[in-house]
Structure 1
Amino acid sequence: MSIEVVKVPLEEKAILKNLLKMYCYEWSQYNKFDVNDKGEYEFEHHISDYWDKKKHYPFFVKVNGILAGFVLIDDDFVLHPNYDYSMGEFFILHKYRRSGVGRYAAKAVFDMFRGKWEIGEHPDNISSIRFWDSVINEYTDGKYEIIKSCPNLVYHDGTCGNVISFEN
């Protein structure tokens, strides 16, 4: 199995937006977002930020050349404004989960972007919490910090999220 993390060119923004709709749908079970009258999630309208703003980076995750997910990196910090990178969004299609694809993609992105990282977790998304705790513990050899129910990270549903931070 060949796994790649490749920067999304501007001309493929519509493809990323298609994947983003699936991600937003999945996330709606946690953050309780509704769609608008056009059937769109509000977050879909912010995807251009990843080409228009500095320190915003969009990536596709591909397996054997086939789209398997995406990674969005930015500098929209909730707790550490002096950090370098935030894991804006991370999505792997169900078919590729628990196969090492997400783990590979996360580590590849961390290797591409050296510095101080911040990652938010919704406490009801148990599979995400298990994934990030495992990947980051392995990647940092246990040298990371987690703040649970951080009042600086409040999701749309009113839940305080967890914030993981580390330096690589």
Structure 2
Amino acid sequence: MQEGREKWQIVPMAGMRDLLIYENLSQAYEAEFSSLTGCMPDHLGRYALQTPLDENHPGFLLMEGDIPLGFMVICLGEIQDVSEFYILPVRRRMGCGFFLAKGVFSLFPGRWQIRQIQGADHAVLFWRGVLDRLIPGGYAQALVEDPFWGFVTRQRFTLPTPTP
């Protein structure tokens, strides 16, 4: 089921419309992980954004025409970090996640890490699958302690700068 791939587009988040899309999709994302994070919605039923967008935390939407399918937010630094990643359940296992991850990674060569909280086994399997396709055997995975989330599974890898 890859009929939508030619219609997929990665769009850098900019402007109020994109921020609204990110905030809306984040509600489903935060709810999905709430049993692992312990996060609760506020008195209006809304979850707080874990990673607000700024110059050090750019975000990218995966679009199919004018319909958002997911997002990826990264943290720029000495080691780039995947801060947030979400694909609508209806579009999972269709290549959307790989398409988005590969596209964003290609924009930022260098050192990277991806972390998954304990219990997010499906996320660990997803990221290992992405990395096995992008850089077979080219990443290190470890269980490490994160100051905010406790123990997390972390993959670290380096993406080379493309040669012209």
* TM-score above 0.5: yes
Unaligned runs of 5+ in 2: 160-164
- Give the TM-score, by structure 1 length: 0.83
Partner Cα separation in structure 2 for residue 96 and residue 151 of structure 1: 32
Say which of 74, 78, 81 aligns to 1:82.
Answer: 78
Assess if the C-alpha contact under 8 Å between 1:154 and 1:160 holds in 2. no
Matched, 1:6 2:11: yes
Assess if the C-alpha contact under 8 Å between 2:102 and 2:134 holds in 1. yes
Partner Cα separation in structure 1 for residue 123 and residue 147 of structure 2: 16
- Give the TM-score, by structure 2 length: 0.85
Matched, 1:63 2:69: no
Matches within 5 A, 1:9-88: 9-12=14-17, 13-43=19-49, 46-47=51-52, 50-51=53-54, 54-75=55-76, 82-83=78-79, 85-88=80-83
Give the C-alpha shift of residue 65 in structure 1: 3.8
- Matched residues, number: 153
Matched, 1:106 2:101: yes
CA RMSD, Structure 1 to Structure 2 (Å): 1.7
Matched, 1:129 2:100: no
Partner of 1:152: 146
Give the C-alpha shift of residue 161 in structure 1: 0.7
Deviations 1:139-160 (A, max 9, x none): 1121101112x123552xxx51
Q: Secondary structure at the match of 2:124?
A: helix
Give the C-alpha shift of residue 27 in structure 1: 1.2
Give the C-alpha shift of residue 163 in structure 1: 1.0
Partner Cα separation in structure 2 for residue 23 and residue 113 of structure 1: 24
Unaligned runs of 5+ in 1: 76-80
Q: Secondary structure at the match of 2:145?
A: strand
Q: 1:138 to 1:153 in 2, by over 3 A?
A: farther
Partner Cα separation in structure 2 for residue 37 and residue 104 of structure 1: 36
Q: Secondary structure at the match of 2:49?
A: helix
Aligned residue type for 1:61 = L
Deviations 1:98-130 (A, max 9, x none): 001111111111111111101101231121111
Give the C-alpha shift of residue 88 in structure 1: 0.7
